Amino acid sequence: MTQTRIIIGVLPDLAEPRPGSPRMECAMAYADAIVRAGGVPVVLPPVVELIPSQLELCRGVVLTGGDDPRTEMFGEPTHSMAKPMHSRRQEYEVALLRALESRPDVPVLGVCLGMQLMALCAGGRLNQHMPDDVPTAADHAGNAQHPLRIEAGDHALSRCMADGGGQSCPVTSHHRQAVRDAGRLRVVARAPDGVIEAIDDPARPFYLGVQWHPERTAHAGAGLALFEALVAAARGA
């Protein structure tokens, strides 16, 4: 018997080629991964007042990659080399993450920017310009591949890696900022140079942020397995 597919909300980027006319954009790779994992991807317009209805519709949420957070919202100036994300997108995604605090049953996967916002909303901090103090910053840019160092223990990422074929694999990275302090969240993976690569909330069934791009990562354990775990958690929610 074929399982009924469940709806997974996907957060789009906002681009504004003409002032005052923002448009939503979402890479098909996210949708393809969710479909392969057994879900139905639905792009969620960044409208704050719709969040309660969106969380009633969706059984899980994917926070996608994008530009850099505007850190004034979190008590720090934005680095001069940052490429700030659209303010409307940030306002919406922060409001959504706040709303999800009272909905721990909703599984969440944060990718790149998504992970960074998860950390900031949990009281964490960012390294806003890795080239300033990470000599290997180039290893994380331009869709470069590097291995992971998975923290020991039972957590969402270790289970994904085990199901996907191992505890170490190359991942695809493209970022100039990184989580420096995960706040209330737990660090569950790092790159060989110590850069934080994954965080989770042990108090929730599935609340995982990864700095790499699983939708672009060929290795099953660090790629498709993350979306499969999200969909599986959403089925059980």
CB 110 within 8 A of CB 120: no
Residue with tokens 């949708």: 31
CB 192 within 8 A of CB 145: no
CB 27 within 8 A of CB 215: yes
How far CA 84 is from CA of 14, 66, 69, 194, in Å, comes to 12, 9, 6, 25
How would you class 211 by CB atoms within 10 Å of its CB: exposed for 0-12, middle for 13-18, buried for 19 or more? buried
Active site residues: 112, 213, 215
- The rounded distance, in Å, linking the Cα atoms of 86 and 90 is 6
Q: Which residues contact 66 (CB under 8 A, 6 or more apart)?
A: 13, 85, 89, 112, 113
Say what angle helices 224-236 and 28-37 make with each other, to 10 degrees: 60
CB 109 within 8 A of CB 60: yes
